[in-house]
Amino acid sequence: MGSQEVLGQAARLASSGLLLQVLFRLITFVLNAFILRFLSKEIIGVVNVRLTLLYSTTIFLAREAFRRACLSGGVQRDWNQTLNLLWLTVPLGIFWSLFLGWVWLQLLEVPNPNVVPHYGPGVVLFGFSAVVELLGEPFWVLAQAHMFIRLKVIAESLSVILKSVLTAFLVLWLPHWGLYIFSLAQLFYTAVLVLCYVIYFTKLLGSPEATKQHTLPVSRVMDLLPKITRSGAFVNWTEAKLTWSFFKQSFLKQILTEGERYVMTFLNVLNFGDQGVYDIVNNLGSLVARLIFQPIEESFYIFFAKVLEREKDATLQKQEDVTVAAMVLESLLKLALLAGMTITVFGFAYSQLALDIYGGAMLSSGSGPVLLRSYCLYVLLLAINGVTECFTFAAMSKEEVNRYNFTMLALSSSFLVLSYLLTHWCGSVGFILANCFNMGIRITQSLCFIHRYYQGSPHRPLAGLRLSPVLLGVFALSGVITSVSEVFLCCEQGWLAKLAHVTVGTFCLGVTLRTAFLTETKLIHFLRTQLGKSRLTDKTM
């Protein structure tokens, strides 16, 4: 498969993932706004921080390294060994769910049962739901490696929609169930997700369509189960060693990704109510970032991993692939920078209004607006880091991954210490400031790697981080105008004034986007080309 074909598939996967994330986040957005009217912020804090952290930590530690290692392999490999390796995520997930469940029940502060009922069953069900989701990992990796885009869209969309409907129904009719509501909904979500993948491959394998697709490495669904290979080796030891390298890195990255939740959970720097408010603001602040950047990062990691060869620098690889990778990286950096700048500039002046509409006075009158404004700056760093690490982790050799682990260890330690100190100094905003500091360090590390990688070639993909002076001027002017508008029109002046404030922001946003369209012609050409390929592929499938 050529690099251009892989690029087209990655662009299609990213666009489909983008639509999927829009659906997910809109549903979650409406659901959280609905829940805020029926449940206490203490219950929301325990679910969104404590129990979600248990689930995400179990999933991340059990599968993240396996995903990165197994998706990095080429077409010519023994898929039986790869599938055997992926099945190891299940016993690993059982271990982590049992160990972390014991920690959550025995070592952490137990919420007041009168305020947050059924905490113990909630911990058990969230841990069990993580193990259930891991049962579908071999199916997920096989689908991702062969670009089964519609399967992912349908499976995850159906799972999220059904989970949301069940949660809303239980909140409305059985609010006294407390944590049972969210625990059962989470278990239902993972069960539906796994069943979608199992049913799809059960129907696909052995069908005439599967016979035509000679790229599929299995012919029966039973071939996806673990078994001894012809070579006698249960797993591919090269993949296994790479998995171990990524596992050490994943453990540290999880601390950086969920660091504030770990500090809140283990050090009790905020009560459960404040944790609930922080998490709501955090989710709202990261809404646009996750809508745009997460599907791009996931899809183009696969692209870079397929196009570039590990253990080789840019001068020793096929130059056509290196050129395409450099062009894509430059365009993604430019896209991330533009999106991040837009969120930062306009989010500052519209944070209080967004919180007032979303959660009322509970969010907009306290520390919520300051939290959301701070998060807008963090989104800019988050956007750039997602793209740079997407390329870096796909191109690093095993030795470079191991060396990077030491950097991650230092970052993890400094983040925890910095979060604790800044939180005592300036409250929950300290978490965001600590995140900004560590994200800046991670970006610097990735930029240095990219610079070294392309140093001996004529390509300079880091040029994507430069904007035209005209566009920078428009961003600055828009920031000043919208800030003045907020002072005079928002948010105590009534709905007509708020509408006028939104109108001012809409006009400034339109001018900014128009300027970007006229000045960043190279990025516009890239987007038009890849979106055109994506539509063409959709029509032919």
Residues 321 and 340 in one domain: yes
Is residue 393 a contact partner of residue 301, using CB atoms and an 8 Å limit? yes
Range of the domain at 81: 39-223+230-248
- Mean pLDDT, residues 173-200: 92
d(CA 141, CA 80): 13
Please indicate, yes or no, if residue 32 is contained in any of the structural domains.
Answer: no
In the predicted model, is pLDDT for residue 317 greater than 80?
no
- Mean pLDDT, residues 160-166: 86
Residues 130 and 206 in one domain: yes
d(CA 409, CA 425): 24
In the predicted model, is pLDDT for residue 538 greater than 50?
no
Q: Residue 73 — pLDDT band, cuts 50, 70, 90? A: low
Which pairs count as long-range contacts for 158-161, CB under 8 Å and 24+ apart, including other chains? 158/192, 158/196, 159/189, 159/190, 159/192, 159/193, 159/196, 160/23, 160/24, 160/27, 160/28, 160/189, 161/23, 161/27
Closest CA to 72 of 252, 301, 229: 301
Residue 143 confidence (pLDDT): 84
Please indicate, yes or no, if residue 529 is contained in any of the structural domains.
Answer: no
Residue 363 confidence (pLDDT): 73
Please indicate, yes or no, if residue 4 is contained in any of the structural domains.
Answer: no
Please tell me what DSSP assigns to residue 491.
S
Residues 460 and 396 in one domain: yes
Model confidence pLDDT, tens digit, residues 508-519? 999 999 999 999
Residue 540 confidence (pLDDT): 45
Residue 507 confidence (pLDDT): 96
Please tell me what DSSP assigns to residue 51.
I
Residues 208 and 286 in one domain: no
Residue 541 confidence (pLDDT): 44
Q: End of a domain among 451, 467, 483?
A: 467
Residues 140 and 95 in one domain: yes
Above pLDDT 70, what percent of the chain? 85
Q: How far is CA 494 from CA 17, 326, 353, 488, 499, in A?
A: 38, 50, 11, 11, 9
d(CA 482, CA 473): 14
End-to-end CA distance of the chain: 17
Residues 266 and 241 in one domain: no
Please indicate, yes or no, if residue 104 is contained in any of the structural domains.
Answer: yes
Mean pLDDT (the chain, rounded): 82
Closest CA to 320 of 446, 459, 453, 448: 459
Residues 179 and 274 in one domain: no
Please indicate, yes or no, if residue 170 is contained in any of the structural domains.
Answer: yes
Is residue 154 a contact partner of residue 97, using CB atoms and an 8 Å limit? no
Model confidence pLDDT, tens digit, residues 47-64? 988 999 999 999 988 888
Q: End of a domain among 422, 451, 467?
A: 467
Residues 331 and 459 in one domain: yes
d(CA 59, CA 517): 40
Please indicate, yes or no, if residue 514 is contained in any of the structural domains.
Answer: no
More confident residue, 214 or 393: 393
Residues 165 and 291 in one domain: no
Burial of 176 (0-12, 13-18, 19+ CB in 10 A): exposed
- Kindly report which listed range (98-112, 397-411, 464-478) carries the lowest average pLDDT score: 397-411
Place of tokens 């404040």: 274
Please indicate, yes or no, if residue 338 is contained in any of the structural domains.
Answer: yes
Model confidence pLDDT, tens digit, residues 350-381? 988 888 887 776 677 777 788 889 999 999 99
Q: End of a domain among 467, 501, 531?
A: 467
Residues 451 and 385 in one domain: yes
3-state helix, strand, coil split of the chain in percent (to 5) is 80, 0, 20
Q: How far from chain centre, in Å, is Cα 65?
A: 15
Give the total number of structural domains in the chain.
2
Q: Residue 102 — pLDDT band, cuts 50, 70, 90? A: very high
Residues 270 and 333 in one domain: yes
- Kindly report which listed range (191-205, 299-313, 443-457, 496-510) carries the lowest average pLDDT score: 299-313
Closest CA to 82 of 5, 145, 36: 145
**48: which residues sit within 8 A by CB, 6+ positions away?**
275, 276, 279, 280, 283
Residues 283 and 358 in one domain: yes
Please indicate, yes or no, if residue 26 is contained in any of the structural domains.
Answer: no
